Amino acid sequence: MGDNAKGGGLVRVRSLSTALYRVPLQRPAEDALHGTMDQVELVLLRAETDEGPTGLGYAYTIGVGGTAIKSLIDDYLAEEVVGEDPLLIEGIWEKLWKRVHWVGRGGLASFALAAIDIALWDIAGKVAGLPLYKLLGGCRREIRAYGSGVDLNLSDEELIAQVEGFLEEGFTAVKIKVGREDPREDLHRVALLRRRVGDGIELMVDANMRWTAAEAIRMGKALEEFDVIWLEEPLIPDDIDGHRQVAQALTMGVAVGENLHTKYEFQRYLSAGALDVVQLDVITLGGITEWLKVAALAEMHNLPITTHYAEEIQVHLLAASPASWFAERHAYRLDHVLERPLILKDGKIAPPEVPGHGLVFDMDKLSQYRIG
């Protein structure tokens, strides 16, 4: 691989180090697939260069897999990166992808790749002296955000209180979970919410892969009465044809993507006409490098992009894409362990104007959750 120059010398990756944290959620969350979730695992990665900045990357899980991601990096991938030019990001990504290809073109391998890739892009922004979104070309300064609850089994009163909290924060769009055992309860909750927020607030729903295609079509048509703008993950991600049937049957959008791991998976969905809203997660996709390629595919198909979680990184990526629509502000927020949480203003969030991605964890607060 090639070289970069800084002050007449060559900049190389000197070391990669990782640490695992299990951070309790400020409030337990529940959906139709995963049950109750009370913690987020964070694998933090620091990439140090022999002269120049340190890059920060991370991967997350909802409680399972963190030790495996850390081990994959420590035992197999770190040695492939040390000594490399950190600005040859595409070349490093391809090298690592080939290294783990046989054991997984997605899943844990993608999560491990993401942590490294994000750290390298952080270094690139710092070397250039640019915020990440400007390094990537920049398209807009602010991104609309929606409040996202993981709230399947909240009572009516708790659900309304949660949504009122979102509105008080300044959100102009809200997403709730559906997928209860009795579908009439889902319809009741969405109707209740629509009556509460009126016509001026946009609503989305997320089924977390709860239904069959026939069930999703039946429920989707009933939900359209309440002016829901998208139905998220109605089926398992493996059922492309089922999603195509749902997308063709409904006038509301069908959002898919948080459980897709490669540009090839997204291309199959796009070619089949099986989604209307392209939902990207920079961690499950293997990092910024792959995210940008899927964003380009979405733009080519004239489809909007929204994101899943990791908004502190993805706000930069959305701000660099002409296809961006919404950023998710998730119930699993990490604000309580961040030095600079994102600020919502007029229903929008903006990337920080500092070199790199600007994500900084408050280690005094985070250190108590370290494992090992």
**Position 70: which residue type?**
K
Q: Which residues pair with 59 in a beta bridge?
A: 43
Per-residue b or e along 308-346, where b marks 16 or more CB atoms closer than 10 Å to that residue's CB: bbbbbbbbbbbbbbebbbbbbbbbbbbeebbeeebebee
> Which listed residue (261, 308, 316, 330) is catalytic?
308
Catalytic: 177?
yes
Q: Which residues pair with 173 in a beta bridge?
A: 202
Closest by CA to 284, choosing from 266, 268, 262, is: 262
For residues 30 and 331, is the Cβ–Cβ distance under 8 A? no
Report the SS3 class of residue 45: strand
Catalytic: 330?
no
> Which listed residue (126, 177, 316, 330) is catalytic?
177
Q: What does the alpha-carbon distance between residue 316 and residue 305 come to, in Å, rounded to a whole number?
A: 13
Q: Which residues pair with 44 in a beta bridge?
A: 19, 58
Q: What does the alpha-carbon distance between residue 290 and residue 83 come to, in Å, rounded to a whole number?
A: 23
For residues 127 and 107, is the Cβ–Cβ distance under 8 A? no
The helix-helix angle for 107-128 and 89-100 (nearest 10°) equals 170
Active site residues: 177, 308
